Amino acid sequence: MSLCLPTLRRQFPALHQEVNGHPLVYLDNAATTQKPLAVLEAMSAFYRSDNANVHRASHVLSTRATAAFEAARETVARFINAWDSREVIWTRGTTEAINLVAQSWGQSLQAGDEILVSTLEHHANIVPWQLAAERKGAKVVPIPLDAHGDIDLDAYRALLGPRTRLVAVGHVSNALGTVNPVATITSLAKAAGALVLVDGAQAVAHLPVDVQRLGCDFYAFSGHKMYAPTGIGVLWGRRELLEKMPPWQGGGEMIERVSFAGTTFNRLPFKFEAGTPHIAGAVSLAAAINFLQEQDRPALLTHEQTLTTYLADQLRATPGVRLVGAPQQRLGAVSFLLDEIHPQDAGTLLDMQGVAVRVGHHCAMPLMESFNIGGTIRASLACYSTHTDIDTLIGAIQKLKEFF
């Protein structure tokens, strides 16, 4: 198997349009990816022929919907190499998955406990821990970065101690593209007796993820950043931990029996899946995984690594451009600033040339503060990105510089 980029790109209808009179160059993939035909067709097919609520009903449509829904769970389990599909909990996305752990496992926190959170994190992997800590009198401790935008492992080792209960870290930074040494971070945490939650939102579309090999206790990710729809995501957790954790939402599906005398809760995974789930989203997420697995993933990874290096090199070589961060390993995203042009202005003017990027603090304000900046321009890549996309971005930046 090999990578044929034109064939791959034909699978993504949204790429083939004009924006403001220019062919679309979509470089906002860290925010959300475009969807291949296989995913669009899976969602459409579900609503056309299998639309029914899952579990309990005895009619044919519900039986088919339930089978597809639970088959999707099995697909996710194989994709991340979970021990058991019952460890796969459906959520609305990474944010909800992290909040689930913070709200449920977080009830076990005690006054004085510490949660270590890297300075690279998206707000979704900071704020839930702050709320959990406030409820219990615990403390969120930031893990500092070095000058390049990598986690300072020596500082991290020094912070680990007997009060450390959990380490929360992203697999890949959404703002800088930094690839964190998650296996090493996890190993050090385990030696200190702490649990580890990994935010995998920016990793699953690019890297092979094996939760057993990583050694973490929780892994969270979203479908929409890996070519699936919005509104569907996954929390994976070790079964022995999930079994002990209390439900965090009450309602239908997550119960075994309800009376006014008391309620008994359902078994895993249903204990954490209150209410009607995003069935079509789960089915479509499975379609996205199947789409990825049908590709030559080593070739895709090499392509994306090569493009990330090319993007950083071309930006660095462009007068008036300053890269933000220089991590040892970067994948999928590069942040930069333009001399004398505010990021918001730059984003608007690039869009006028058909180039879609993201501007702002990228929901990573502590990271921005560590670099003493308010925000950046971020270009982010996907499997369908090309060298031509990057060349077009560079040409558009040069036109901005001439304009200003």
CA atoms of 171 and 388, how far apart (whole Å) = 28
Residue written as tokens 């964190």?
180
CB 151 within 8 A of CB 120: yes
Catalytic position from the list 4, 216, 363, 383: 363
Q: Exposed, middle or buried by CB within 10 Å (0-12, 13-18, 19+), for 322?
A: middle
216 a catalytic residue? no
- Residues β-bridged to residue 379: 334
Side-chain half-sphere CA neighbours of 42 within 13 A? 25
CA atoms of 330 and 321, how far apart (whole Å) = 18
CB 164 within 8 A of CB 185: no
Residue written as tokens 């309800």?
258
CA atoms of 128 and 103, how far apart (whole Å) = 8
- What Cα–Cα distance (Å) separates residue 94 from each residue in 50, 101, 281, 296? 27, 11, 14, 26
* Active site positions, annotated: 363
